[in-house]
Amino acid sequence: MIAEKSARVEGLNVRYLESGSGPALLFLHGASLGSSADVWVPNLPAFDAHGFRAIALDQPGFGLTDNPADHSIAYRRHFVMTFMDELGLQHASVIGHSQSGRIAVELGFMLPGRVAKVVVLATGSLLPPLKEGGKSREEGEEGEATEPTLEQTRRDLEANLFHPALITPAALETRHKMSLGKNFQAFLARSRMPREEGGGPPLWQRLAELPAPLLMLYGKQDRGRAAERSELAKQRYPGLDLQLLDRCKHLLQWDAAERFAAIAGRFLAG
C-alpha cells in the first residue's frame, strides 16, 4: 500500500509517497512540467515486493511541495540530502529519472558510503554526444510559455510514451493538475536559470569512477537518439551496466514497468 506523507525540510512543506519497509530506496522524478512523485505510483509496490522501503518525493517546485527561492539543479540536489537527513536515512539507494539521473549520480559522488547504489533512467546528459554534434532538447525543457490545457498535457505524455494507452484518465488528470498554478510558475523560474557549467570533464566521462554501483536504463525509442548514444557509451566504457529496453520512450518506468522492476530489483538486491 502506498502512503502519502509530509515533512518539513528547509522551511518547505514536502509531500512524499512511501511503500514498504527495509533498505531505503529514493525515487527522484524528472524536471518536465507536471512531474511529481506520482510518476512512480505504478512502480513503488513492485519495489516494496523486492523488500525495499520505496520513497518518492515531490521535489521543491513540483507536485504538492512548496516552491523554493532557488530553482537550480544544485539546490534540488542539496535538498535531497537534507530530505534524507530529515527522514533519518543514513543509507539509501537512489533511482533518478531524466534530469534527476544526473542528481542521483552526483549524490553518489558526494555521499560515498551513504548512497548504496544508483539507477539512472533515460538521462540523456549522461550519454556521450554523437560525432556530428547537434543539440537536442535539454531535460526539463518540456513545456510552453503558458499553462497547458488538458489536451496539451495529453500530447506531451503521448510524446514520451511508446504505449500511449497507459495514459489513464486519472494519470492525465494528475499530470495536468501538477502542471498548473505554483508548479507552472516554478517551471518558468527554472527556464530562466542559467545553464550550470561544472568544472572538469563532463559527468558522462566520470561514470566509471562512481563509488556506488551504477545501473543505466534507456528506452530504445527515446528522443535525442538515445539508442545510438547508448551504444556509443558501451563502446567507450565496456564496464558500464547500461541496458537498452525495446518498445520504450522517455517514460521508461511506465512503458516497461515490469521489466524495470525486475532488472533494477535484481541489481539493487544483489
pLDDT per position as a tens digit, 75-102? 999 999 999 999 999 999 999 999 999 9
Per 3-state DSSP, the chain is made up of helix, strand and coil in percentages (nearest 5) of: 40, 20, 45
Q: What is d(CA 17, CA 28) in angstroms, rounded to the nearest whole number?
A: 11
Q: How confident is the model at residue 141 (pLDDT cuts 50, 70, 90)?
A: low
Sequence letter at residue 81: M
pTM of the model: 0.95
Question: Grid coordinates representing 211?
Answer: 563509488
Which residues, listed in sequence order, are joined to residue 15 by a DSSP beta bridge? 6
CA distances from 242 to 6, 137, 149, 207, 214 (A): 34, 22, 36, 11, 9
Least confident stretch, 60-74, 101-115, 140-154: 140-154
- Answer yes or no: is pLDDT of 139 > 70: no
* Contacts (Cβ under 8 Å, ≥6 apart) of 105: 96, 118, 120, 126, 203, 207, 210, 214
- What's the CATH number where 38 sits? 3.40.50.1820
**At residue 19, what are phi and psi to the nearest 5 degrees?**
-145, 130
Q: What is d(CA 34, CA 177) in angstroms, rounded to the nearest whole number?
A: 7
Number of separate domains in the chain: 1
Domain range enclosing 79: 3-269
Question: Does residue 132 or residue 5 have the better pLDDT?
Answer: 5
pLDDT of residue 249: 97
